[in-house]
Amino acid sequence: MPELRKDPVLGRWVIIATERAKRPSDFEVVREESDSASCAFCEGHESETPPEVYAVRETGTGANEPGWEVRVIPNKYPALDVEGQLDREGVGLCDMANGIGVHEVIVETPAHDQQTSDLSAEHIGKVMMTYRQRIVDLREDERLKYVLIFKNQGRSAGASLQHAHSQLIATPITPKRVKEKLDGAKRYFDYKHRCVFCDYIKQETELFGERLVAETTDFVALSPFAARFPFETWILPKRHMLDFSLVEDGEAADLGRMLKRVLSKLRKALNNPPFNYVLHMAPYRRPRGGYWTTIEDDYHWHVELIPRLTRVAGFEWGSGFYINPTPPEVAAQTLRETEA
Amino acid sequence: MPELRKDPVLGRWVIIATERAKRPSDFEVVREESDSASCAFCEGHESETPPEVYAVRETGTGANEPGWEVRVIPNKYPALDVEGQLDREGVGLCDMANGIGVHEVIVETPAHDQQTSDLSAEHIGKVMMTYRQRIVDLREDERLKYVLIFKNQGRSAGASLQHAHSQLIATPITPKRVKEKLDGAKRYFDYKHRCVFCDYIKQETELFGERLVAETTDFVALSPFAARFPFETWILPKRHMLDFSLVEDGEAADLGRMLKRVLSKLRKALNNPPFNYVLHMAPYRRPRGGYWTTIEDDYHWHVELIPRLTRVAGFEWGSGFYINPTPPEVAAQTLRETEA
């Protein structure tokens, strides 16, 4: 079973994936599978993956058969193990726990050679509804504290398979970055009695406009004021919503339109860059009272999208401080002016 | 002038390098200069760099002439501007400041084709003493709150020049990651009345030993218990020391021996990997009283070294949670057994 270990100074958890222990020679091999004949994510290859946990399918087709549009399967090499209870123990002054959790793959299309931005807006909307289904379904598992849905596209963004897919990792602890975001939003709310994300959307759309990338009925896409990376882009729902489970069908469809537009702009403006996007929302377990009293009002889910154009180096690792050579206003203008 | 901007939720600062605004086409060009005939860091090319601010030189040679062993110059394309005072202002609900600070390059050797691990232990010791000289010298500048010394080797670790060099960036604010480390060490001290780093060194050398990589008179090298990355290695002084300015000459020389040993082991075990290392120490400005009362006792400088073998992807960006496929015990054993 994988292990969860905590840094005794920073309180940062890591997953030590003990079962696939990498020895030095393993890092020589660059995995890149782009041959559709051998791709387990392709239609017709359903038996090569673990049994599906959910799929958007044509009526009349059965589980693990062709006829699907979006398909969710357990990761064949999961970072966390689905069986067991969370046991914590001390190792000298350090802390560890067994690595339980959920690791799933959302295969976005049966076709091998389509990137997300090649899919129709309607189809991307169905991928978004699939995200929502998984989030709602896994919430029932009391062991899970947080679910993170993310996408890596391109080798230098960490993708080892070319076929368009997203991933879901649900963890038995709330990750550090999430706690920091919640804390920041709560501090603002305690001071202002308003949601920092709602205020920020209002400021960027009504007061400034220079960092606006795109707008649909229900969403805005922005270059964040303190962007860490060139062309970093956030997508936020205009309606105040704590987490993704609250997204309505019409909003999921509109998010499909927004994602297609933003991904197409980035692809055209930046020559099809590798990228990551991450869905940020509130944790699953929110005890009543105390710290959590205002969370329905103070947090607001959103998507962070990072094209991988620059390399993170010693300064960033050491300081948590980023050097961004592209002002967000320049990035936003470029993306606004890119027809896609 | 560059800008410092703060994320309104996370409180994370970024440097927006406005003067070298990158447009999309700039990301196409891969800079890699390995031709010694055109390398400004080489001996004999001193006039091609900004005038040196410090050098370890043969007696009788003059500034900006050949005859040096280690040479410090201002970065020709600085991320921060040395002139001015820190002015903060609000932009709607966001915060920004002008990007003042110091950005220097420490050229580690006059020879073009030597990696750090090719240099003699004695020479690396002189590089360490140069770090110390810069740290002590810049402390006099009241505008500077923190100094970060780091090294990027190899293109995928962020180095754009091949000639062996380290960098120094001094900032007018204390970076977020540093604050988090200080907070964690203080929490431990407030509870235990002992330094967490001293306790950790004792545990790893006397109680466990399985994560020990190397040991010299004054230093230990360890695979950290909660390593984020395969073969991540920390080097810590055995003697309790708040910051690098307190390092004695004998200790700097011993650190040269330790760095040569660790870098040589990594080079041999991992086929000359790209890497970053970062020197972590306490901030410059520490007002008396309150929060800072115990800092001399609770913080302990150290070096974090990260071979760049895996790619940071969506999960890590989204969560601050890392997946490490190599257990630190396996990494440490491999490095212990690598003769170098």
Q: Which domains does chain A have, with CATH numbers?
A: 3-171 (3.30.428.10), 176-337 (3.30.428.10)
DSSP string for A269-312? HTTS--EEEEEE---S---SSGGGTTHHHH---EEEEEE--S--
Q: Give the tokens for residue A197.
A: 């994300």
* Beta carbons of A23 and B269 less than 8 angstroms apart: no
Global pTM reads: 0.93
Nearest chain B alpha carbon to A149: B315
| Helices (runs of H) and strands (runs of E) counted in chain A | 7, 15
ipTM associated with this complex: 0.91
Residue B193 — pLDDT band, cuts 50, 70, 90? Answer: very high
Helix (H) or strand (E) holding A317: helix A314-319
* Beta carbons of B4 and B98 less than 8 angstroms apart: yes
Q: Model confidence over B132-180: pLDDT tens digits?
A: 999 999 999 999 999 999 999 998 898 889 999 999 999 999 998 899 9
From A8-12, A137-141, A193-197, B272-276, the region with the lowest mean pLDDT: A8-12
From A75-89, A110-124, B108-122, the region with the lowest mean pLDDT: A75-89
Say whether pLDDT at B23 is over 80: no
Q: Give the tokens for residue A22.
A: 């990498």
B165 is catalytic: yes
- How many Cβ contacts (< 8 angstroms) between chains A and B? 284
Q: Give the tokens for residue B330.
A: 């396996």
Say whether pLDDT at B29 is over 60: no
Helix (H) or strand (E) holding A185: helix A176-192
Is A292 touching B (CB cutoff 8 A)? no
Residue A313 — pLDDT band, cuts 50, 70, 90? Answer: confident
Determine the pLDDT at residue A290.
Answer: 78
Q: How far apart are CA B89 and CA B300, in angstroms?
A: 34
Q: How far apart are CA A297 and CA A290, in angstroms?
A: 14
From A13-17, A261-265, B42-46, the region with the lowest mean pLDDT: A13-17
Strand partners, A106: A72, A166
Residue B27 — pLDDT band, cuts 50, 70, 90? Answer: low
Selecting from B203, B279, B318 the residue whose C-beta is nearest the C-beta of A148 gives B318
Say whether pLDDT at A216 is over 60: yes
Q: How far apart are CA A261 and CA A325, in angstroms?
A: 24
Is B29 touching A (CB cutoff 8 A)? no
Q: Model confidence over B68-92: pLDDT tens digits?
A: 999 999 998 899 999 998 899 999 9
Averaged pLDDT of chain B: 92
Chain center to CA of B118:
19
Strand A88-91, strand A322-324: pairing: unpaired
Averaged pLDDT of chain A: 92
Determine the pLDDT at residue A29.
Answer: 44
* Beta carbons of B68 and B57 less than 8 angstroms apart: yes
To the nearest whole Å, the CA of B51 is away from the closest chain A CA by: 24
Which residue, chain included where needed, has tokens 């936020």?
A236
* Beta carbons of A145 and A174 less than 8 angstroms apart: yes
Q: Give the tokens for residue A336.
A: 């606004």
Q: Is the dihedral of CA B225, B226, B231, B232 positive or negative?
A: negative
CB contact under 8 A, B226 and A7: yes
